[in-house]
Structure 1
Amino acid sequence: MSDNSILIENKGQLVDHLASGVRPDRSTWKIGAEHEKFVFHLSDHAPLSYEGTDKLPGIKDVLLAFTDKGWEPVLENGNIIAATRDGASLSLEPGGQFELSGAALSTIHNTCDETSLHLKEAREVGQELNIGFLGLGFHPDLERSQVPVMPKARYGIMRAYMPKVGSLGLDMMLRTCTVQVNIDTESEIDMIEKFRIGLALQPLATALFANSPFTEGKLNGFKSRRSHVWTDTDPDRCGMLPFVFEDGMGFERYVDHVLDVPMYFVRRNGQYIDASGQSFRDFMAGKLPALPGELPTMEDWEDHLTTLFPEVRLKKYMEMRGADGGPWARLCALPAFWVGLLYDKDAQSAAWDLVKNWTVPDMERMRLEAPKLGLEATWQGSKTFKDLAAEALKIADQGLKARAKLSSSGETEQGFLTALWESAESGLTPADLLIEKYRETGSTEFLYSDYKY
């Protein structure tokens, strides 16, 4: 019997599941980079439907083109919905956003090589199919109703549920793209400290990577519209998780939180069963209305974990989730930022010293300011995020230097922070540069030529 098919009969199994992810040996720590991007037809910048037409390719054709490059197809109900290769996967978000979930690799050099190879292949596919890939946090032009919907069953359940709990959940599903990094921990204590540092500094990451100032072809008043969208998506499963900063935080406390988040679905025999709004606690008691009398498996638990969307998400590893999708250099900069802060003991200690006296209300205010103000947001009274960025980047830089993970040409990982240093020194986010160009041209047209991968 596989671990995933084991029946869950008590909460301790769920705690043990999360705890099993810790890696006491730091030499085994890995880095997993992920990013999403919009796909568009070069001819008119329209999005790709799944099937396409006789004359125009669809998202299905994009995935099939990658299978011609050695990726293995993943099917659902006869539709190709993903592809895998060498521990990495390509998948579709609800509105056809195209995601690379990278393999667990040892250095940022490795993750950036992986990203570069993927984008090289994406360019080749783009030339074959006359399409482009665009890295922004929020779609610059499309109305929600204009976004094609992908044929993935879980997304149908989510689309029906989202409007019941927030006004922007469908925007999150259909019109946003993000970049994130997955990191390891060495113990429960280390997990708690990383979780707290990650949540505290997620607003800074949002500001540094802010890259979504347009909605439906016009300025929207935000530097990161994507980040703002999460504030009204679903209060049960999003946000800054104040309990993480309380005494008693640990794997069990996080399990309790997850158990209190309503479910979306259960998978059985390759089919998705709607369990939206139902309780995983009831499931463990054999009282789930969607599957009366059945107990959950560990695979059900892992599915449920993926339906939470806080600023930092805990699985067997930790996901840092605060950044907009963006240009090539910043796809490598995000893992450099977090690995620099959290993979060297001295750097992590310095990062904790930076944030340990912040209050939850302080952090909540920073979380709300960052999407609108970017690096002009404030902390500790009159200080700006520009100042905070300089302090955090100094720590991250020293952390990467201390890691001493060298490329084949003898370079450390510090160079991957260059784009962030430029923002910290100028006070300008990627969104500020887009806003300036928009004001010069009066249009978002430049994005599809100047900012495509």
Structure 2
Amino acid sequence: MTTSDTAHHDKNRVLRTRDDAEGYVASVCFKHGPPRLAGVELEWLVHQAATPAAPLDPTMLRTALGPYAPTSLDPGSPARALPGGSLVTVEPGGQVELASPPLAPFGTLVRTVIADSTVLHDRLAAHGLAVSPSAADAVRPARRVLDLPRYRAMEHRFDRIGAWGRSGMCSTAAVQVCLDAGEKAEIGRRWDAVHALGPVLIAAFANSPVLHGRRTGWKSSRLAAWLALDPQRTAPPPPSSGDPAAAWARRVLDTELLCVRRADGRWDAPPGVTFAAWIRGDAALPGPPTVADLEYHISTLFPPVRPRGHLEIRYVDAQPGRRWALPAAVLAAVLSDAEVRDRARDACEPALGRWISAARYGLADRVLQRSAVTVFELALSALAPLEAPSWLVGELTVALERGVRRGLCPADRVRPAPGPPAAGSTAHTGGTSPAGPADVPEEARA
């Protein structure tokens, strides 16, 4: 985010070799520069305020968003930015997303996003719509609102894999934090740090124990769904090879195509075909792929951290009200200082790789809980230079003292949903893991 891409790449340039494609991915996905800016992408599940269990009416949503509606929902919309510069998008199930501009210092980002989200939520409320405080739809079955070729192709692919795809697409919401990739010499350390922090922050902010009408057995049903819906596309990476750009480029080329854009609107990709196979000509696809095709393919990978020039950190559940600022503050503070970052990374060492345990048990996993205490303490020690508002420092302190130190996350305060599962629900709701066996030993939870 700190360095603008001044090179005007020819989007129609044909990619004829794997090396050419990997070189392009590595060059555009990790931009070098001083780590200064931060941004957020906030998603909210939207429902009718008077009847939360009713299906969302896209016409009602389009009217509520008015001139801020994205063209995916209203092709004739001017798609204006909110007063602070944030853009509004809509996810497949009608989730509304606010994407902030990159800003510094962090306190400016918080104030800007709160003002923009207030405008957005006031518009929704004026038209009888409300946003959920949870990261998963506790009442309604998964239902796709946007009928676009991309989402039809996603749905078809995910349906072939299992039952979690529609839930992940249509019934979940996240806090995504965007930070600069950093100076070239530091990128590997920052990449390792944001992944080491992943299980700890997932556990600390897990906020989706109820999905489609019943408790799933997971503190973060949202992450459980995403890890299971298409693992090659959503799984965290293996331990760093020391060159995250090269490793990411290989992963992009070796991931199967989710969709192939065609003029007739039929975007389904042939099963089992990777982008590398398309370059080799091993599949019956239109022509060799172009740079534009590669960029679109990158947009169909959804790992916990996605490099997009900056680092798009995608693993935290949506939070109620202004509490989205808490996980954003922890990440921004810890990553703002190299010494603090490295101490946080060391504190997370015992919890490395505990993604599934974090989603299932939250801070009841005592390994994660002990790491979280240190991470929160380090974040609070580093917040002052970021000019965070005093209320945020106060709420983060309360979250540490009344939540993290006690082994509690937001999911532990969610009351059970009344009544049976919503009609038509197909998501997993039992105690078996959708993403592999639970990886927390009994003694770690003692």
Q: TM-score, normalised by structure 1?
A: 0.81
User: Cα–Cα, structure 1 residues 309 and 47, in superposed 2: closer, same or farther, change >3 Å?
Assistant: farther
Contact residue 29 and residue 245 of structure 2 kept, 8 A: no
CA contact (8 A) 2:81 2:87 kept: yes
- Tell me which residue corresponds to 1:35: 42
SS in 2 for 1:180: strand
Which of 185, 200, 203 is residue 204 of structure 1 equivalent to? 200
Q: Are 1:178 and 1:321, in contact at CA under 8 Å, matched by a contact in 2?
A: yes
How far off its partner does 1:302 sit? 2.1
Q: 2:413 aligned with 1:406, yes or no?
A: no
Cα deviation digits, residues 8-36 of structure 1 (max 9, x gap): 3443454355445655542x621110111
Cα pair distance change 1:419/1:20, threshold 3 Å: farther
Query: In the alignment, what sits opposite 1:133?
Result: 131
Q: Secondary structure of 1:186's partner?
A: coil
Deviation string, structure 1 residues 95-115 (Cα, Å, up to 9, x no partner): 111111111111222222232
Gaps of 5+ in 1: 380-384, 445-453
Q: For 1:313 and 1:42, how far apart are their aligned partners in 2?
A: 34
- The count of aligned residue pairs is 409
Distance 1:343 1:112, change over 3 A: same
The answer as to 2:325 corresponding to 1:317 is no
In the alignment, structure 2 segments of 5+ residues that lack a partner are: 1-6, 421-446
Counterpart residue identity of residue 36, structure 1:
E
Q: Does the Cα contact within 8 Å between 1:176 and 1:226 map onto a contact in 2?
A: yes
What SS does structure 2 have at the residue aligned with 1:322?
strand
Tell me how far 1:368 sits from its aligned partner: 1.6
Q: Could you report, residue by residue, the CA deviation over 1:133-175 in whole angstroms, capped at 9, with x for unpaired residues?
A: 113111011123xx24212221111001102223311111111
Distance 1:347 1:169 in 2: 37
Q: Does 1:168 align with 2:170?
A: no
Of 343, 349, 359, the match for 2:342: 349
Q: Check 1:230–1:419 CA distance in 2 against 1; reply closer, same or farther (3 A cut).
A: farther
Q: Quote the Cα distance in structure 2 between the aligned partners of 1:349 and 1:270.
A: 51
Quick one: structure 1 residues 82 and 18, their matched pair in 2 at CA, closer, same or farther if it must change by over 3 Å?
farther
Paired with 2:160 and 2:88, the residues of 1 have a C-alpha distance of: 30
> Structure 2: how far apart are the matches of 1:231 and 1:22?
24
Q: Please give the alpha-carbon distance, in whole angstroms, between the structure 1 residues aligned to 2:300 and 2:270.
A: 11
Task: Letter of the 2:71 partner, please give it.
Answer: V
Higher relative contact order (CA 8 A, sep 6+): 2
Instruction: Please show how residues 100-111 of structure 1 align to structure 2 within 5 Å.
Output: 100-111=98-109
Q: Structure 1 residue 127: deviation in Å?
A: 3.3
Pair 1:391–1:248, CA change in 2 (3 A): closer
Which of 387, 396, 403 is matched with 1:417 structurally? 396
Report if aligned partners of 1:177, 1:324 keep a CA contact under 8 Å in 2. yes
Distance 1:315 1:23, change over 3 A: closer
The aligned residue for residue 389 of structure 1 is 372
Alignment of 1:285-324 (within 5 A): 285=280, 289-291=284-286, 293-297=287-291, 299-324=292-317
Deviation at 1:269, TM superposition (A): 6.7
Q: Aligned partner of 1:141: which letter? A: V
Percent of residue pairs bearing the same amino acid type: 23
Shift of 1:294: 3.4
Give secondary structure in 2 for the equivalent of 1:237.
Answer: helix
CA contact (8 A) 1:15 1:251 kept: no
